[in-house]
């Protein structure tokens, strides 16, 4: 890995690398479909994300290699006096760079981006089956303040 990680908005050419990273872990291997060609659902989702000014799919790159990904969604709320918040989702790094600071840089970049967008809060969730991820986010200053609920449809 080179000395400086570059961040940029993802392009459709990055989609193969992104899906490969999403599929390359204990949970992603059960819910993603990394195959060639990629299922059209990924392209459809990519187009929806990139056409929405309140969504950013961001990749971390080492030279031209995509080594990390995250999605940031900016949402206005009536609460907090009409404040905006940023939600970070789908954070993954290439297996070969895990535990080398790439995830930390991704999250720091997302926090800075949220500040640039005027957000008063950055939020994220992590699966309860990922205790290491929870510790990782707590080391970056995130606090467990709420119980999250999901309803699978």
Q: What is the CATH number of the domain that holds 129?
A: 3.40.630.30
Judge whether 90 lies within some domain.
yes
Average pLDDT over every residue of 7-31: 92
Confidence class for position 150, pLDDT limits 50, 70, 90: confident
User: Which pLDDT does position 68 carry in this prediction?
Assistant: 96
**Cβ neighbours of residue 86 under 8 Å, at least 6 residues apart?**
72, 73, 74, 75, 110, 113, 114, 117, 119, 121, 122, 123
- pLDDT tens across 70-82, in order? 999 999 999 888 9
Share of the chain above pLDDT 90, in %: 75
Asked, for residue 145, whether it belongs to a domain, the answer is: no
Residue 4 has a pLDDT of 84
Q: What is the count of structural domains for the chain?
A: 1
pLDDT level of residue 3 (50, 70, 90 thresholds): low
Q: From CA 124, how far away is CA 87, in angstroms rounded?
A: 5
For 11, the domain range is 6-139
Q: What is the pLDDT of residue 77?
A: 93
Assess whether pLDDT exceeds 60 at residue 1.
no
pLDDT at res. 149: 86
Per the domain annotation, does 96 fall within a domain?
yes
Structure token pair of residue 91: 């954070």
User: Which tens digits make up the pLDDT trace of 90-143?
Assistant: 999 998 999 889 999 999 999 999 999 999 999 999 988 889 999 999 999 999
In a domain, 74, yes or no: yes
Q: Confirm whether 1 is domain-assigned.
A: no
The angle formed by the CA atoms of residues 51, 55 and 58, to the nearest 5 degrees, is 100
- For residue 151, being part of any structural domain is answered with no
Residue 127 lies in a domain: yes
Q: Is the confidence at residue 2, as pLDDT, over 70?
A: no
Average pLDDT for 39-50: 97
Q: Domain for residue 42, yes or no?
A: yes
pLDDT recorded at residue 38: 93
> How distant, in Å, are the alpha carbons of 26, 55, 129 from that of 52?
30, 6, 31
DSSP structural state of residue 97 = G
Report pLDDT for 141: 95
């Amino acid at each position: 890995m080179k000395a400086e990680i570059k961040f940029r908005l993802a392009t459709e050419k990055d989609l193969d690398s992104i899906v490969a990273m999403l599929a390359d872990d204990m949970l992603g291997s059960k819910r993603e479909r990394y195959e060639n060609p990629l299922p059209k659902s990924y392209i459809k989702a990519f187009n929806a994300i990139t056409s929405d000014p309140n969504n950013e799919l961001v990749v971390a790159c080492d030279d031209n290699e995509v080594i990390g990904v995250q999605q940031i969604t900016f949402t206005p709320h009536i609460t907090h006096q009409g404040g905006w918040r940023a939600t970070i989702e789908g954070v993954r790094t290439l297996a070969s760079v895990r535990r080398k600071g790439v995830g930390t840089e991704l999250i720091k970049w997302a926090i800075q981006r949220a500040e640039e967008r005027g957000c008063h809060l950055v939020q994220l969730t992590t699966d309860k089956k990922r205790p290491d991820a929870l510790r990782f986010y707590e080391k970056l200053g995130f606090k467990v303040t709420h119980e999250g609920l999901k309803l699978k449809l």
